[in-house]
A = this chain, B = another copy of it.
Amino acid sequence: MIQSTKKRSQKAGLLPGTLVHIGERLEERSKITVINYGTEEFSRVEVKTPEECMPLKGKSNVCWIDVTGIHEGETIEKIGRLFNLHPLLLEDIMNTDQRPKMEVYGDYLFIVLKMLFYDEKEKSAIMEQISVVLGTDYVLSFQEKESNIFNPLLEHLKNDKGRIRKMGADYLIYSLIDMIIDNYFLILEKLGERVDNLEVQLITSPKTETLKSIQKLKREMIFLRRSVWPLREVINSMERGESPLIQSSTYVYLRDIYDHTIQAIDTIETYRDMLSGMLDIYLSSVSYKLNEVMKVLTIVATIFIPLTFIVGLYGMNFEFMPELKWPWGYPFVLLLMLVIGLTMLYYFKRKKWF
């Protein structure tokens, strides 16, 4: 399950601006990769300390520095000093309990996003934070953990000398966000399959576990919604041209990922509606079953209780009970009971009880 709250409380009592990592530690050590590319050149180097980055930052179009593992305050701080980043921004990078947001600082732009992965074992979505800084000719990205989500992009940057190599840092940012959002649909489809499975299960054999699965999935939708919904605002404000760092030619691409975000939100809402409907069906099928059980009990009891009364009647030990001496008494009573039983069956049949 997507975790609900991180141990943010460890920050209470600390002064603002103190760098504390909030969230699980997902990597042993931070890893820094420096990628330089332009129309003609492409290079990719892994370095050990932030200080090694600066000499590598070439004069090519764009320099992309990707940091995986964000629990080392020192590393983050050094990078912050190298690129002259605001202390609050560094605090936000290390705090994985952020809402997606965009902030405009003087000569750079800061974006926080959520990446989604699917945990096949737990059968639930995992959420990770990625923080991105966009400068005039550089992009910094901070991921909680190494992932292969950007590999196709790297492959393309390396081999293809096409459009992307000519475009600026803002197009790189767009490409990153586009890949993250495309990945959302992968997760949504997996969850969609689970919704469909639950629906089948609900119709064939509703159990109390089905209800718990519905509730669990419903809550996962709440968490997903919380991480996708603010994205809408983020991309919207990027598109509204609030920063000179984003060229107007990139706007059409931003509008495109804006549409995808809306599509993702729509899908989540639809799943939520479906799950609510399934809850109604579950509850009503429980009521329906109770009804069925009661009918069986009522039919059996209502037929046999009067009959049992009659046989009890002739089991009484009164000395003066003339019927007991009649030779046809016994067959007559048997007949009487048969008539009573059939009448009742007919009555229930007419009431459509079975």
Q: Which listed segment binds B: A2-10, A52-60, A119-127, A133-141?
A: A2-10
Residues in B whose Cβ lies below 8 Å from that of A279: 280
A270 touches B222 (CB 8 A): yes
Q: Determine if A26 is an interface residue (Cβ-Cβ < 8 Å).
A: no
Interface residue A244 (Cβ < 8 Å from any Cβ of B): no
Mark interface residues in A43-57 (1 if CB within 8 Å of B CB, else 0).
000000000000000
Q: Which of A34-42, A61-69, A234-242, A290-298 contacts B (4 or more CB under 8 A)?
A: A290-298
Assess the A277–B152 pair: CB atoms within 8 A.
no
- Contact B175 A9, beta carbon cutoff 8 Å: no
Is the pair B309, A304 in contact by a Cβ cutoff of 8 Å?
yes
Task: Look across to chain B and name the residue whose beta carbon is closest to the beta carbon of A329.
Answer: B318
How many copies of the polypeptide does the oligomer hold?
5
Given A152-B15, A311-B316, A315-B312, do A219 and B282 touch, yes or no (CB 8 Å)? no
Give the size category of A's interface with B: 35 or more
Q: Is the pair B284, A286 in contact by a Cβ cutoff of 8 Å?
A: yes
- A182–B88 alpha-carbon span in the complex (Å): 15
Contact with A290, one of B186, B188, B291 (Cβ below 8 angstroms): B291
Interface of A is mostly: helix
Bound-complex Cα distance A297 to B291 (A): 13
Is A346 an interface residue when CB atoms closer than 8 A count as contact? no
Q: Does A197 contact B (CB under 8 A)?
A: no
Asked if A287 CB lies within 8 Å of chain B CBs, one says yes
Instruction: Assess the A153–B15 pair: CB atoms within 8 A.
Output: yes
Q: Does A302 interact with chain B (Cβ within 8 Å)?
A: yes
Q: Is A247 an interface residue (CB 8 A)?
A: no
**A interface residue numbers (CB < 8 A to B):** 4-5, 7-9, 11-17, 86, 88, 91-92, 97-99, 101, 103, 105, 152-153, 156, 163-164, 174-175, 178-179, 182-183, 185-186, 188-189, 192, 203, 205, 208, 211-212, 215, 218-219, 222-223, 226, 252-253, 255-256, 259, 262-263, 266-267, 270, 273-274, 277, 279-291, 293-298, 300-302, 304-309, 311-321, 323-327, 329-330, 333, 352-353
Interchain residue pairs A-B with the least CB separation, the first 3: A311-B312, A314-B316, A297-B298
